[in-house]
Amino acid sequence: MPAVALILLSAATHAVVNVLSKRAEDKYAMRLLIGVVSAFFAAPFLILLPLPQGKTVWFLLATALVHAFYELFVVKSYESAAFSAVYPVARGTGPLFTALGAVLLLREHPAIVELAGIVLVCAGVIAIGVSHRKSATAGLGYALATGVTIGCYTLIDASGIRSAADPLTYVLWFFIAYGASVLVTAPALRGASVLLAARRQWKVGIAAAALAMLSYGCALMAFRVGATAPLAALRETSVLFGTALAASFLGEPMTLRRLAAAGAIVAGAIMLQAG
């Protein structure tokens, strides 16, 4: 139950962070702010914890690399299509890749009811995404690429936090690695203009960074004590929160089809816990 509570809190806060990213004037600048401010918040606490060692260091380097691509794809998807279209596709395909990797690489073997729950959650969130009539093909392509990176970094981080002697060591150093990654890649891809855009929206960036730390910090701690694939799928209930926020704050409608898909997500989440 602690892992479930952590992952649900992660889901709710994750949806808020992504709505803030979608509403941002410059979306890449917002993601840059989230990464850099998160690292700034984490840095003072590093002196209280042991340094990462051995395999943990390699996991941190690997997740920094994958997150650089994740940030690029998520921003391109938000720039190409409606939030309520691309967010569910990205979050729905991620657990499918995670589940496959967990079986093949981590030697985890979910029960049949858990596998059915994973499929139901993923099907529900993808159905919400493709139901959007204004979906752009490019946007959905970027969303699918985002899902691939989600599956990759979930497997890396689940393995990384389990390899660390102190889980908080991995959590804090993750935000350092993540911040360094976006600080290098964002200006390299967008030039100095992304730094100027970040200065204009720094207040929202600070709030988003704090929520992002809470969201992924909770997810990492959940992966420390729970099975990767079911928890990754359960985290995608963030689509329920995200769809509601999109209807409330972004003016994107909630159709009957999306409500039915949301029901599938809830049913899948229940099956995961039954498993």
Q: What range does the domain containing 237 cover?
A: 2-274
pLDDT of 141 > 80? The answer is yes
Which amino acid does the sequence have at 28? Y
Arithmetic mean of pLDDT, 136-152? 82
Gap between the Cα atoms of 137 and 145, Å rounded: 12
Gap between the Cα atoms of 223 and 44, Å rounded: 24
Q: Are 120 and 67 in contact (CB under 8 A)?
A: no
* Chain centroid offset of residue 253 CA: 23
Q: Identify the band that residue 42 occupies on the pLDDT scale cut at 50, 70 and 90.
A: very high
> DSSP character for 251?
-
Arithmetic mean of pLDDT, 190-194? 83
Q: How many domains does the chain have?
A: 1
pTM over 0.85: no
Gap between the Cα atoms of 178 and 84, Å rounded: 26
Give residue-wise pLDDT tens across range 54-66: 999 999 999 999 9
pLDDT for position 266: 63
Q: Report CA-CA distances (Å) from 125 to 50, 104, 140, 208, 259.
A: 39, 24, 13, 23, 11
The pLDDT mean for the chain works out to 82
Gap between the Cα atoms of 59 and 157, Å rounded: 7
> For the packed helices 112-130 and 256-274, what is the interaxial angle rounded to 10 degrees?
160
Q: Identify the band that residue 137 occupies on the pLDDT scale cut at 50, 70 and 90.
A: low
Closest listed residue to residue 129, CA positions, set 114, 115, 141:
141
pLDDT for position 220: 92
Which residues are CB-contacts of 62 (< 8 A; sequence separation ≥ 6)? 156, 160
Cα R_g (the chain), whole angstroms? 18
Matching residue, tokens 């360094």:
180
Arithmetic mean of pLDDT, 69-77? 86
Gap between the Cα atoms of 121 and 177, Å rounded: 30
Which residues are CB-contacts of 171 (< 8 A; sequence separation ≥ 6)? 161, 217, 220, 221
